[in-house]
Amino acid sequence: MVKIKNGSVLSMILDNLKNEELYDKLSDNLKKAFDFMLSDKPRELPVGKYEIDGDNVYVMIQTYTTRPVSETKWESHKKYIDLQYIVEGSEEIGWMPIDGLSASGEYDAEKDKTNYNETEHWTRLEMNAGDFTVLYPEDGHKACGILEKPSEVKKAVIKIKLD
């Protein structure tokens, strides 16, 4: 769990961008991420990595075709929160607290990533255009899965440095 300005503790968030005002006051860096998502930039920018606020907040614009969830990999991050925003398309993201997963290797500090072995029990997040999820260090996740049928996806993965 992550503590925020008022001392509260957070875990995974799943919502639609139309409700961003519920979350944009949780932290200054999260506000910067929502301001970016509300701009036209996620739709206009080509694939690549872009700074929003140096290494405190940056975005990776991605495009891909979703694939069977069995072909996706579990991961989590320690230094950054993942805010995954679906610009176009739809996908399934798996979610599971990391205390229910077993690591498949050591934490890679350079990539800020730990990978995990497959598990049978997890929560299915259905993501469509306009939806976002905020994934904290305790949130294991696997993205890019087929929701109902293969979909071409454009996604903004915003990395938000933990204070």
Q: What is the pLDDT of residues 78-122, one digit of tens each?
A: 999 999 999 999 999 999 999 999 999 999 999 999 999 999 999
Whether the predicted model's global pTM rises above the 0.85 cut: yes
CATH of the domain at 39: 2.60.120.370
For residue 58, the surrounding DSSP H or E stretch is strand 57-65
Count: domains in the chain: 1
- For 61, the domain range is 2-161
pLDDT at 52 over 70: yes
Question: 3-class DSSP state for residue 91?
Answer: strand
User: What share of the chain in percent tops pLDDT 90?
Assistant: 89
Confidence of residue 10 (pLDDT cuts 50, 70, 90): low
Radius of gyration of the chain (CA): 15
DSSP 99: G
CA distance 93 to 146: 9
What pLDDT is recorded for position 26? 87
